[in-house]
Structure 1
Amino acid sequence: MSKFGQLSFTTKLFLCLLLLLTILLALLQGYIWNSTETDLYNNLGQRAQLQARELAVIPSLIKYVQDKDTDKIAELVTDVFKQSDASYIVIGDNKAKRLFHTANSPLYVPMLGGDNQEVLKGNSIITIRKGSLGISLRGKAPIINANNQVVGIVSVGYMVDNISQLHKEKLVPFAIFCSILFVILFIFSFCFTKMIKKQMFNLEPRSIALLVKSQKSIMESIFEGIIAIDLNYNIININQSARKMLKITNNNKELVNHNLCEFIKSTDFIYNSNNKTEDSHDQICHFNDCLVIANRIRIIVDDKIQGWVITFRNFNEVNILSAQLTQIKQYVDNLRALRHEHLNWMATLSGLIYMERYREAQEFITIHSIDNQKSLDFITQHFKIPAVCGLLIGKLSKSHELGLQLNFDPACQLSALPKTITEIEFMSILGNLLDNAFNASLKNPLGNKNVLLYLSDATDEIVLEVSDQGCGIDEKIRDSIFRPGVTSQNPKEHGIGLHLVATYTQKANGYITFDNNQPYGTIFSVFIPKLDEIQRDIV
Structure 2
Amino acid sequence: MKKTLKLQTRLTIFVCIVVLIALFITFFTIGAQTSRSIREQEKSTALQTAEMVADAPIVPDSLENGKDQELREYTSQVQKITSTEFVVVMDMNGIRKTHPNPDKIGKRFTGGDETKALKGHVHISTASGTLGKSMRAFVPVYNKDGKQVGAVAVGITINEIDEIISHSLRPLYFIICVSIFVGVIGAVIVARTVKNIMYGLEPYEIATLLQERSAMLESTKEGILAVDESGKIKLANAEAKRLFIKMGILVNPIDQDVNAVLPKSRLKQVIETKKPLQDRDIRINGLELVFNEVPIQLKGQTVGAIATFRDKTEVKHLAEQLSGVKMYANALRAQSHEFMNKLHVILGLVQLKEYDDLGDYIKDIAIQQKSETSEIINDVKSSVLAGFLLGKQSYIREQGADLDIQCDNVIPNAADPSVVHELITIIGNLLNNALDAVSNRPKKQISMSMRYHEKQLHIEISDTGSGLSAEDQTKIFEQGYSTKGKNRGFGLYFTQQSMENLKGQMIVTSEKNEGTTFSLRIPYESKEEQHD
Aligned partners of 1:337 and 1:132: how far apart in 2?
129
Aligned residues: CA RMSD: 5.1
Partner of 2:528: none
Contact 1:380–1:389 at 8 Å: present in 2 too? Answer: no
Q: Tell me the amino acid that sits aligned with residue 311 of structure 2.
A: N
Partner of 2:71: 73
Aligned partners of 2:443 and 2:6: how far apart in 1?
79
Number of aligned positions between the proteins: 518
TM-superposed deviation, 1:37: 0.7
TM score, norm. by length of structure 2? 0.75
Aligned partners of 2:177 and 2:517: how far apart in 1?
86
Partner of 1:113: 111
Partner of 1:327: 324
Q: Does 1:440 align with 2:437?
A: yes
1:266 partner SS: coil
1:158 partner SS: strand
1:189–1:342 CA distance, 2 compared to 1 (3 A): closer
Deviates more, 1:421-430 or 1:10-19: 421-430
1:44–1:343 CA distance, 2 compared to 1 (3 A): closer
Contact 2:475–2:481 at 8 Å: present in 1 too? Answer: no
Aligned partners of 1:143 and 1:461: how far apart in 2?
134
Q: Tell me the amino acid that sits aligned with residue 206 of structure 1.
A: Y
TM-superposed deviation, 1:95: 1.6
1:232–1:175 CA distance, 2 compared to 1 (3 A): same
Aligned partners of 2:108 and 2:458: how far apart in 1?
132
Partner of 2:192: 194
After superposition, where does 1:458-473 map in structure 2 within 5 Å?
A: 468=463, 470=465
Contact 2:396–2:402 at 8 Å: present in 1 too? Answer: yes
2:245 partner SS: coil
Q: Tell me the amino acid that sits aligned with residue 501 of structure 1.
A: T
2:134 partner SS: strand
Q: Tell me the amino acid that sits aligned with residue 427 of structure 2.
A: L
Contact 2:277–2:292 at 8 Å: present in 1 too? Answer: yes
Provide, for residues 394-417 of structure 1, a one-character-per-residue CA deviation record: whole Å limited to 9, x for no partner: 544544443334468999999999
1:246 partner SS: helix
Provide, for residues 416-441 of structure 1, a one-character-per-residue CA deviation record: whole Å limited to 9, x for no partner: 9999x843134213211221221232
Partner of 2:95: 97
1:20–1:342 CA distance, 2 compared to 1 (3 A): closer
Contact 1:457–1:463 at 8 Å: present in 2 too? Answer: yes
TM-superposed deviation, 1:6: 3.2
Aligned partners of 1:463 and 1:176: how far apart in 2?
100
TM-superposed deviation, 1:518: 0.4
Contact 1:86–1:156 at 8 Å: present in 2 too? Answer: yes
Partner of 1:158: 156
1:82–1:26 CA distance, 2 compared to 1 (3 A): same
Contact 2:477–2:496 at 8 Å: present in 1 too? Answer: no
Aligned partners of 2:186 and 2:456: how far apart in 1?
74
TM-superposed deviation, 1:32: 1.6
2:97 partner SS: strand
Provide, for residues 318-370 of structure 1, a one-character-per-residue CA deviation record: whole Å limited to 9, x for no partner: 4224313423443454466567668878959x969947579998997899699
TM-superposed deviation, 1:249: 11
TM-superposed deviation, 1:150: 1.9
Q: Tell me the amino acid that sits aligned with residue 449 of structure 1.
A: K
Contact 2:271–2:295 at 8 Å: present in 1 too? Answer: no
Contact 1:127–1:137 at 8 Å: present in 2 too? Answer: yes
Q: Does 1:240 align with 2:238?
A: yes
Contact 1:509–1:529 at 8 Å: present in 2 too? Answer: yes
Aligned partners of 1:16 and 1:480: how far apart in 2?
68
Partner of 1:431: 428
Aligned partners of 1:357 and 1:249: how far apart in 2?
67
Partner of 2:223: 225
TM-superposed deviation, 1:124: 0.8
1:263–1:80 CA distance, 2 compared to 1 (3 A): same
After superposition, where does 1:281-300 map in structure 2 within 5 Å?
A: 286=283, 289-293=286-290
1:359–1:53 CA distance, 2 compared to 1 (3 A): closer
Provide, for residues 56-104 of structure 1, a one-character-per-residue CA deviation record: whole Å limited to 9, x for no partner: 1233322222223112223443444454343332222112221123565
After superposition, where does 1:39-50 map in structure 2 within 5 Å?
A: 39-50=37-48
Q: Tell me the amino acid that sits aligned with residue 132 of structure 1.
A: T
1:101 partner SS: coil
After superposition, where does 1:24-35 map in structure 2 within 5 Å?
A: 24-35=22-33
2:140 partner SS: strand
Deviates more, 1:220-229 or 1:10-19: 220-229
After superposition, where does 1:380-459 map in structure 2 within 5 Å?
A: 391-392=388-389, 394-406=391-403, 422-442=419-439, 444-445=440-441, 448-451=443-446
Q: Tell me the amino acid that sits aligned with residue 273 of structure 1.
A: V
1:47–1:524 CA distance, 2 compared to 1 (3 A): farther
Contact 2:124–2:137 at 8 Å: present in 1 too? Answer: yes
Partner of 1:14: 12
Aligned partners of 1:514 and 1:149: how far apart in 2?
135
Q: Tell me the amino acid that sits aligned with residue 174 of structure 2.
A: I
Q: Aligned match of 1:54 in 33, 44, 52?
A: 52
Aligned partners of 1:274 and 1:515: how far apart in 2?
41
Q: Tell me the amino acid that sits aligned with residue 270 of structure 2.
A: S
Contact 1:9–1:205 at 8 Å: present in 2 too? Answer: yes
After superposition, where does 1:139-538 map in structure 2 within 5 Å?
A: 139-247=137-245, 256-268=254-266, 270-273=267-270, 277=274, 286=283, 289-293=286-290, 306-308=303-305, 310-334=307-331, 337=334, 354=354, 356=356, 376=375, 391-392=388-389, 394-406=391-403, 422-442=419-439, 444-445=440-441, 448-451=443-446, 468=463, 470=465, 483=479, 488=484, 496-498=490-492, 500-501=494-495, 503-504=497-498, 517-519=511-513
Q: Any gaps of 5 or more consecutive residues in structure 2? A: 525-532
Partner of 1:536: none
TM-superposed deviation, 1:12: 1.7
Q: Tell me the amino acid that sits aligned with residue 200 of structure 2.
A: N
Aligned partners of 1:11 and 1:117: how far apart in 2?
65
1:358–1:14 CA distance, 2 compared to 1 (3 A): closer
Aligned partners of 1:134 and 1:211: how far apart in 2?
72
Aligned partners of 2:52 and 2:34: how far apart in 1?
27
TM-superposed deviation, 1:116: 0.4
Deviates more, 1:93-102 or 1:324-333: 324-333
Contact 1:267–1:286 at 8 Å: present in 2 too? Answer: no
1:36–1:454 CA distance, 2 compared to 1 (3 A): farther
Partner of 1:135: 133
Q: Tell me the amino acid that sits aligned with residue 19 of structure 2.
A: L
Partner of 1:64: 62
Q: Tell me the amino acid that sits aligned with residue 189 of structure 2.
A: C
1:287–1:207 CA distance, 2 compared to 1 (3 A): farther
Aligned partners of 2:156 and 2:362: how far apart in 1?
146
Partner of 2:123: 125
TM-superposed deviation, 1:182: 2.9
TM-superposed deviation, 1:41: 0.8
Deviates more, 1:323-332 or 1:151-160: 323-332
TM-superposed deviation, 1:141: 0.5
Contact 1:267–1:287 at 8 Å: present in 2 too? Answer: no
